[in-house]
Amino acid sequence: MKIYLDLLFLLNFIYDALLLITVSITLKRNTKFKRILLGALFGAISTFIILIPLNKYILLLLKILAGFLMLLVTYGYHDLKYFLNNMLYLYMTSVILAGFLYFLKLEFNNLSYFLILLIAPFILYLYIKEQNNLKRVVNYYTKVIINLKNNRHLELKAFIDSGNKLQDPITHKYIILINKKRLKGIYNIRSPMYVPIKTVNKTSLLECIPVKSIEVNGKVYENYLLGLSDTFKMQDGIECLLNYHLIEK
């Protein structure tokens, strides 16, 4: 079996550079491009470790050590958590990329190295895009404590809904939504407010009650109403839809 060292070096340099760029974008490291190239260069040179006739376990340790040094060259060392995050995302990204490329190589035996180089950035682009989408969704999940007027409170898993911009036109209080059944046995609704809301096809009245306050991430907000919906379905553990106004705050 022939091994072309120049091709091996070039391929590993490009892949290492792509992986380091992906980690930088995903973790927002703001690393200078020349440091990424320097780290990729170090990673490509360390690839030649596999040519050394050593025990496979020693080779594995050397490859891991080379990965550590590549990260230090590219990102430096600030603290242990910073370094471990860099390491985790580097290896996770490399496994994902290698898995996709291996699958393509199995499916298309005649796939050239040139095509693989063209496909790799696209795979990493999709990975970055999905990571960002996941972060945005996860950041919208939170817990909320609703302090009711009868001195009882509800602690719910909530989702900050970008589509919920409901506001009472008279009191100008913002509205958060829960299923009406969630108040059963906790709060006796005697004189609710009815707030006009616009849906896609019609205007309707939403039954609301005033609350003392709501607490989100340790912060207390008082200018809110609790909207009671008979149709709101609790999915994925979500019991409350918070108002988009909280994101603006």
* End position of a domain, from candidates 117, 139, 161: 139
Residue 198 maps to which CATH number?
2.40.70.10
Instruction: Output the pTM of the full model.
Output: 0.55
* Closest among 126, 160, 121 to 238, alpha carbons compared: 160
**Domain shared by 115 and 163, yes or no:** no
**Domain shared by 165 and 130, yes or no:** no
Position 47 scores a pLDDT of 76
Name the residue with higher pLDDT: 4 or 8: 8
Position 99 scores a pLDDT of 83
Position 168 scores a pLDDT of 92
**Domain shared by 94 and 73, yes or no:** yes
φ, ψ of residue 247 to 5 degrees: the values are: -65, -40
* pLDDT above 90 coverage of the chain, percent: 23
Name the residue with higher pLDDT: 222 or 59: 222
Rounded to whole angstroms, the Cα distance separating 16 from 36 reads: 9
Q: Which of 171-180, 210-219, 224-233 is predicted least confidently?
A: 224-233
Reported as a single tens digit per residue, the pLDDT across 177-216 is 999 888 888 999 888 899 998 766 678 899 999 999 999 8
Whether 143 shows a pLDDT value over 70: the answer reads yes
**Domain shared by 149 and 192, yes or no:** yes
Rounded to whole angstroms, the Cα distance separating 91 from 9 reads: 19
Burial class (CB in 10 A: 0-12, 13-18, 19+), 75: buried
pLDDT confidence bin for 249, thresholds 50/70/90: low
Q: Which domain holds residue 31?
A: 5-139
Instruction: Give yes or no for a contact between 151 and 188, defined as CB atoms under 8 angstroms apart.
Output: no
Name the residue with higher pLDDT: 113 or 76: 76
**Domain shared by 117 and 171, yes or no:** no
**Domain shared by 183 and 115, yes or no:** no
| The two structure tokens encoding residue 126 | 């999709």
SS (H, E, C) the chain: CCCCHHHHHHHHHHHHHHHHHHHHHHHCCCCCHHHHHHHHHHHHHHHHHHHCCCCHHHHHHHHHHHHHHHHHHHHCCCCHHHHHHHHHHHHHHHHHHHHHHHHHHHHCCCCCHHHHHHHHHHHHHHHHHHHHHHHHHHHCEEEEEEECCCCCEEEEEEEECCCCCCECCCCCCEEEEEEHHHHCCCCCCCCCEEEEEECCCCEEEEEEEECCEEEECCEEECCEEEEEECCCCCCCCCCEEECCHHHHC
| Mean pLDDT for the stretch of residues 131-148 | 76
pLDDT confidence bin for 218, thresholds 50/70/90: confident
* End position of a domain, from candidates 104, 119, 139: 139
**Domain shared by 169 and 157, yes or no:** yes
* End position of a domain, from candidates 139, 173, 198: 139
Position 132 scores a pLDDT of 73
Q: Which of 54-58, 121-125, 155-159 is predicted least confidently?
A: 54-58
| The two structure tokens encoding residue 169 | 């036109």
| Mean pLDDT for the stretch of residues 15-32 | 88
Rounded to whole angstroms, the Cα distance separating 19 from 36 reads: 9
